[in-house]
Amino acid sequence: MPKPGNKKDVERSLGLITYVGAFIPNLSDKTLLLRELLKKETEWHWDERHDECLKVIKQCLSKPPVLRHYDLDLPITILVDANKSGLGACLMQKGMPVCYASKSLSKAEQRYAQIEKELYACVFACERCHAYIYGRTDVVIETDHKPLVSIIKKPIVDSPSRLQRMLLKLQRYTFKLVYKAGKHLFIADALSRAYEPEPALSVQVSSADYTQHDEVCAITRDMALSAATDVTDLQFIKLQKSLENDDELALLRKYIREGWPTNKHDVIDLVKPYWGYKENLSIAYGLVWKDQRIVVPKLLRKDLLKKIHVGHVGLQKCQLRARETIFWPGINNDLTNLISNCSICLTYRKNNQKEEMQPHEIPDRPWAKVGTDLFQIKGVDYLLLVDYYSKFFEMEKLQCTTSASIIETLKNIFSRQGIPNVVMSDCGPQF
Ligand SMILES: [Zn+2]
């Protein structure tokens, strides 16, 4: 813990102590000097006496009765927290700390979005406390970042690409993630601000981590691109370029990086439409993503709508195309407007209306009910017979398609498979 540089630092140190204060004898005497320093009318002045006072407090925190031994039989709670440049974690049993951990974030990691930092804090805590928690099923992790709790419950592939790598790392551990208001996470918060400077070696490790993370992003991007027949590499560069001049996405990126306000009212109007998706947004490759879909800047939306509409495949198929690749708030409405006004799509739809599918009852044994039909390949006629229960099929080449020939062929098949109760056909002339 570095030396406090202002009243705020002292406040945090004291907050940390108060959390476990019940276990420290004569706490108020020990913190008297520091509390004096916090008073409004006191001018900031830090000297050896304060140093001494802080030292005593630190000692209290790092030995019994506050710091307790790990007990295999007690449930575990881990408090985690992340702030701008550091992570903190504290493993507790029975409300008393068993181990503390903190870490500074590398330059690259500091650029993570707030939610990414918070999840990273979970990964960091689990890996640091590996020996205590691996294989246990009664671990609770407490975070002050509400969206994390829902993200962690979703399938990994549905998460923003940046979080996927971290979620994969967490697969090794069994834990329950719960939300706790920030004011209850004193220790983790204080630790996340009180990291020691990283030794050079660990910095290298974390930058390697970052590369790995980029690889995951690259794979996701490639997957998205291959799904997106219309998004070529050229298009990708165009997207990146137009992003630079888009106020809306610039603001959106700022929110993703620095975290969203807790209240929707505090969000600037321009990006309010994104509020409902804020947990699914991430930044990778200079683009904003909603899950695996690229968030398209205003300037390019019209263009991409046109691309999606190529071939006049109708509203549903267009929506499907869009759902795999691109996104902006109201994209479905824009598509509906475009296509409901397109005469070609409308005619196509009318010609293509199909009879509704009629579900049939599944028989209770194989070969009780079979369906049969005729078909032709390269001028040769065939008879097909499919069992409704197992989908097992029989196929026979036909010499001709007369009733006599069909009866003969069916008799052949029935002699091998048994006689069904019901035979369904489309009532062609032969049947
Ligand atoms: Zn059309």
| CA 22 to mean position of chain CA atoms | 39
Instruction: For residues 347-369, give the mean pLDDT.
Output: 74
pLDDT of the residue at 158: 73
- Angstrom CA distances, 145 to 83, 88, 148, 378, stand at 11, 14, 6, 64
Q: Is 323 helix (H, G, I), strand (E, B) or coil?
A: helix
The H or E element containing residue 386 is strand 380-387
CA of 399 to the centre of ligand 1 (A): 46
CA of 237 to the centre of ligand 1 (A): 27
Instruction: For residues 149-163, give the mean pLDDT.
Output: 79
Gap between the Cα atoms of 118 and 108, Å rounded: 15
Gap between the Cα atoms of 103 and 98, Å rounded: 17
Q: Is 18 helix (H, G, I), strand (E, B) or coil?
A: helix
Instruction: For residues 326-343, give the mean pLDDT.
Output: 88
List, edge to edge, every strand of the sheet that includes 139-143: 96-104, 86-93, 76-82, 139-143, 176-179
CATH topology assigned to domain 76-193: Nucleotidyltransferase; domain 5 (3.30.420)
Whole-number percent of the chain with pLDDT over 90: 15
Task: Locate CATH 1.10.340.70 in the chain.
Answer: 228-351
pLDDT of the residue at 346: 78
Window from 206-215, 234-243, 336-345, 370-379 with minimum mean pLDDT: 206-215
Task: Locate CATH 3.30.420.10 in the chain.
Answer: 76-193, 369-424
- What is the per-residue DSSP string for 151-220? HTTS-GGGS-HHHHHHHHHHTT---EEEE--GGG-HHHHHHHHSPPPPPHHHHHHHHHHHHHHHHHHHHH
Cis peptide before 359 (omega within 30 of 0): no
Q: What are phi and psi of 424, to 5 degrees?
A: -100, 135
CA of 335 to the centre of ligand 1 (A): 10
> Crossing angle for the helix pair 298-309 and 315-325, nearest 10 degrees?
130
CA of 76 to the centre of ligand 1 (A): 59
pLDDT of the residue at 126: 92
The H or E element containing residue 396 is strand 393-397
Q: Is the pLDDT of residue 88 over 60?
A: yes
CA of 351 to the centre of ligand 1 (A): 14
Q: Is the pLDDT of residue 283 over 70?
A: yes
Q: Between 390 and 15, whose confidence is greater?
A: 390
CA of 310 to the centre of ligand 1 (A): 7
Tokens 């996405």 correspond to 249
Gap between the Cα atoms of 426 and 81, Å rounded: 67
pLDDT of the residue at 71: 86
CA of 316 to the centre of ligand 1 (A): 12
CA of 234 to the centre of ligand 1 (A): 25
What is the number of alpha carbons within 13 Å of residue 172 lying toward its C-beta? 14
CA of 355 to the centre of ligand 1 (A): 23
CA of 331 to the centre of ligand 1 (A): 16
CA of 221 to the centre of ligand 1 (A): 29
pLDDT in tens, 3-57: 677 777 777 777 766 666 666 667 777 777 777 777 777 777 778 888 887 888 7
**Mean pLDDT for all residues in the chain:** 79
Gap between the Cα atoms of 45 and 248, Å rounded: 46
CA of 308 to the centre of ligand 1 (A): 10
Gap between the Cα atoms of 283 and 240, Å rounded: 12
Window from 57-71, 172-186, 389-403 with minimum mean pLDDT: 57-71
Burial state string for 13-46 with b = 16 or more CB within 10 A and e = fewer than 16: bbebbebbeebbeebeebbebbeebeeeeeeeeb
Q: Is the pLDDT of residue 191 over 60?
A: yes
CA of 289 to the centre of ligand 1 (A): 27
Instruction: For residues 186-204, give the mean pLDDT.
Output: 59
CA of 326 to the centre of ligand 1 (A): 19
- What sign does the dihedral 132-136-139-141 (CA atoms) show? positive
CATH code assigned to 369-424? 3.30.420.10
The amino acid occupying position 255 is: Y
CA of 315 to the centre of ligand 1 (A): 8
| CA 54 to mean position of chain CA atoms | 41
Instruction: For residues 375-404, give the mean pLDDT.
Output: 90
Binned at pLDDT 50, 70 and 90, residue 200 comes out as very low
CA of 338 to the centre of ligand 1 (A): 8
Domain 228-351 maps to which CATH number in 3.30.565.10, 2.60.120.260, 3.30.70.580, 1.10.340.70?
A: 1.10.340.70
CA of 336 to the centre of ligand 1 (A): 11
Structure tokens given for 389:
């229960």
CA of 325 to the centre of ligand 1 (A): 19
Torsion-angle region of 101 (φ positive above 0: left; ψ -120 to 50: alpha; else: beta)? beta
Q: Between 353 and 37, whose confidence is greater?
A: 37
CA of 347 to the centre of ligand 1 (A): 9
pLDDT of the residue at 357: 65
CA of 334 to the centre of ligand 1 (A): 13
Binned at pLDDT 50, 70 and 90, residue 383 comes out as very high
CA of 272 to the centre of ligand 1 (A): 31
Q: Closest Cα partner for 185 from 113, 121, 260? A: 121
pLDDT of the residue at 201: 39
